[in-house]
Structure formats: structure tokens, C-alpha cells
Amino acid sequence: MRSKLLLFVSLFLVFAMALSACQTATPPEEPPVSDVDCGAASALEAEGAYQVPAPIEGCFNVAFVYVGPHDDGGWSQSHDEGRLWVQENVPGVHTAYVENVAEGVDSEQVTRSLARKGFDMIFTTSFGFMDATETVASEFPEKDFVHVSGYKFNGTNFGNLMGAMENIKYLAGMLAGSRAKTDGNPKIGYMATFPIPEELRLGNAFALGVAKTCPECTIDVRFIHTWHDPTIEQEAAKSLFDAGAQVVMTGADTPAPAIAAPEGKWGITYDYRHNCTHDACLSSMYWDWGPMYKIEIEKSMNGTFAGEAVYFDTYEGGMGLLGFMQGEEYMPGVADLPAEDLQMIQDELALFMSGAKDRFALFTGPITDNQGNLVLAEGESLRQVDLDCFEGPDTPCEGGVGMYWWNENFTAELP
């Protein structure tokens, strides 16, 4: 009786695991004898809680490590969209991914296991994967590693990749300001995730944009301390709307501001171009990773990858403001804005796209913080090191400006 029971329980567990594995497991296709099909699905093998894919011989194998599900509707999905683009557009490359990887020890094991299995290049796409990627990169000097959204690199086989989303947030700020001014309620909300330099940078860029189209507008802030939690994001968006905001911009993944927006109010979503599907959504500030990946992968394929810090600007591609890029249409809440405001946004976008304006031009004085201090005097600009840094002793931007300030139109206090 007892052994029967054990057998049943173990069978049930195996069944459960097999089913939960199904999310990525498709039967591997037999490669054609003459020509290797690099677009085929990877064979998967369970390692701990993760399904680790195997490379395909004869292809250049690239693996991606995601912090969330590949279809989270936000950050991780924007990366998966990029991965699929690479699979489609870079011949001879086979791509695979591991999803839902926890930051810390787990990510190190997953990354190491991918390297050991023979992947030639590995992208790790969450800030918290940085140290793990650095460790594994030192163990596999013949393979290349790219960490997205961090700041470490080793000059040989471990580089980082990030883009100037601040430019897009700035344009979104102009859009939000125009909308709030037109609706006659000059209040705007910013739903920030964590009190880190990146979130203050993006918030300040947004605020500078708001000031451009709506000088009298003020910005309220809520920190939600998560990148992705539908319920909390919903609550934070409501909290901002209840406090009077007309437009809410988010730094997190879900389209919560657009869903929570009461009749006649608006939200702006982030990360993934296809998450701006509600009528109350003005636009999505999205990533377009595919072409950026292609550049890095081709460097690695022809041996010129050098483990650098790559920080692409808008003119290099990799990002967009939904409705304003080529071939896109305005969302319903944008179409009825004053034509001169829309023209102004288009003109600014054109400057960014041509490279005539970049992130440094965006953060150029005079800029005053909300305490009345002059952050940047007329003509002064931030340096690259200031963008991702809180000024203080022993920081990269020591003695410089850093990012620990709120632009003058914020009503909120610094975190």
C-alpha cells in the first residue's frame, strides 16, 4: 500500500513538472542533413527549477536570461521581441532563452550552465544579474557576455548595454504636458519603481519635457518598490489620479495607468510597444532591442567584441515613442491635441533621430531643482558618469552633479 502510494505521488509530481515545463518545451526538430536549421527550437533540460536550452551545432548560439516571464507584457517581453527579431534577421544565429530567473545565485548558475552547454554569447537582461554575469564571464574567457542595464564591464568578453530612454521620456513629458494643459488640469503623476539613479534620471527627463509644453504643470510621485506587480501598480496609479493627476506616466511594466485612468484622464505606458492598447493610453515609451542585439552579436561573430560599455542614443535606434515613429498612428487621446504642440514634439523627435540632439543636450542648463538650487548653469551639461550615479564620496561622479535632484516642477521630495 505504502509503496503504491509513493509511486503515485512521484508519478503525479513528474506529471506536474512535465506540464509546467511545457511553457517552453516544443519537440526539437531534426536538423536537415545538409543545412542546419538555426531557427529550430532548442532541446530543453531541467536544471533545478529552470529549463535550460541546448545550443544547435553549426549555428552561432545566443542565449538570453530573463528576470520575468517571456510574455510579461513589459520589460522581459520587449527583450523576447528583440530575440525573435534577431532569430528572423541575423542568418546563422540560433537564439534561446531562460525565463523567470531569480537575481543572485540562481542567475549565476543559469548563466554558467548556458556557457558550459556551449552558447557562444549570453545576454542577461536584469540589473540584478550584473555581478553574476561578471563572475561567469571571468570563467569562460572564450565566450562573450552582455549585461543589459548595468554599469560593469571588463574590456575583454563582458560588456554592458543600455540606451538613452531619457530622450523618449522627455518627449513623453511634452506629450503629457500638452494633454494636461489642454484638459485644463495642470497636474501630472510619475509612478516610479525604486529610488535609484535610473528612475530619477527618467523622471527628470520627463519633467523637463513637461515644462516645455506646460510650464505651469506640477508633478507628483509615488515609489512602488517593484518593477512588475499588476495590483500594486493599479493602486499606485489610482493614488496619483485620486490626488488630482490628469496624466500618469509609469516606470513599471504593466499598462496600469491607462487601465486605472478615470473617464477623461490619461496614462502613458513603458517598456513594451504592444501594451498601449487601452483608449486612455496616450503612448508607450518602448524599447526596440533587436537591432541593438544584432550589432553586439555581429561584433562577437567577427571577433571584434571588446567588452565595452555601450550606451546607445536615440539616433542609433533601439527605442521609440508609440504613435510618433514612422508608420505608427496617434492614439485617440493624442489626435485632438493642439497641432502646434504635436509639431513641437515631432520636431524634437526629429532632432533626436538625426543625432542633432542627444542625452547630454537634453540635460543642459539652466536647470533648477525643486529646492531652488541651480543644478546646471546656462550651457553646462551632465557627463555620462552623472547619468547613473548619486553624487557622494567614493562614487564615480564624486564632485560632479549626479542624479540626486528633482527638477523644479516636482512637488515631491527627494527619496
Per-residue mark of binding to another protein, 293-312 (x: CB under 8 A):
--------------------
Q: Which one, 153 or 241, has the nearer CB to another protein?
A: 241
Instruction: Give the whole-angstrom CA distance, residue 136 versus residue 34.
Output: 35
Instruction: Give the whole-angstrom CA distance, residue 305 versus residue 301.
Output: 8
Instruction: Give the whole-angstrom CA distance, residue 83 versus residue 70.
Output: 10
In this structure, the strands spanning 158-163 and 187-192 are unpaired
Q: Which one, 112 or 238, has the nearer CB to another protein?
A: 238
Determine the interface stretch with another protein among 176-184, 216-224, 356-364, 372-380 (rule: CB under 8 A): 216-224
Per-residue mark of binding to another protein, 246-285 (x: CB under 8 A):
-------xxxx--x------------x-xx-xx-------
Interacting residues of 303 by C-beta distance below 8 A, sequence separation 6+: none
Q: Is 413 a residue that touches another protein (CB under 8 A)?
A: yes
Q: Is 128 a residue that touches another protein (CB under 8 A)?
A: no
Q: Which one, 85 or 223, has the nearer CB to another protein?
A: 223
Neighbours of 412 (CB within 10 A): 17
Instruction: Give the whole-angstrom CA distance, residue 324 versus residue 342.
Output: 9
Helices (H), 103-196: 105-117, 130-139, 165-183
Cell of 32: 536537415
Tallying the residues shown for the chain, one arrives at 415
Q: Is 69 a residue that touches another protein (CB under 8 A)?
A: yes
Q: Is 112 a residue that touches another protein (CB under 8 A)?
A: no
Q: Is 224 a residue that touches another protein (CB under 8 A)?
A: yes
Interacting residues of 211 by C-beta distance below 8 A, sequence separation 6+: 173, 177, 217, 407, 408, 409
Write down the least CB distance from residue 275 to another protein, Å.
5
Pick from 42, 61, 77, 107 the residue near another protein by CB under 8 A: 77
Per-residue mark of binding to another protein, 10-29 (x: CB under 8 A):
--xx-xxx-xxxxx------
List contacts with another protein (CB under 8 A): 5, 8-9, 12-13, 15-17, 19-23, 68-74, 77, 100, 195, 220-225, 228-236, 238-239, 242-243, 253-256, 259, 272, 274-275, 277-278, 412-413, 415
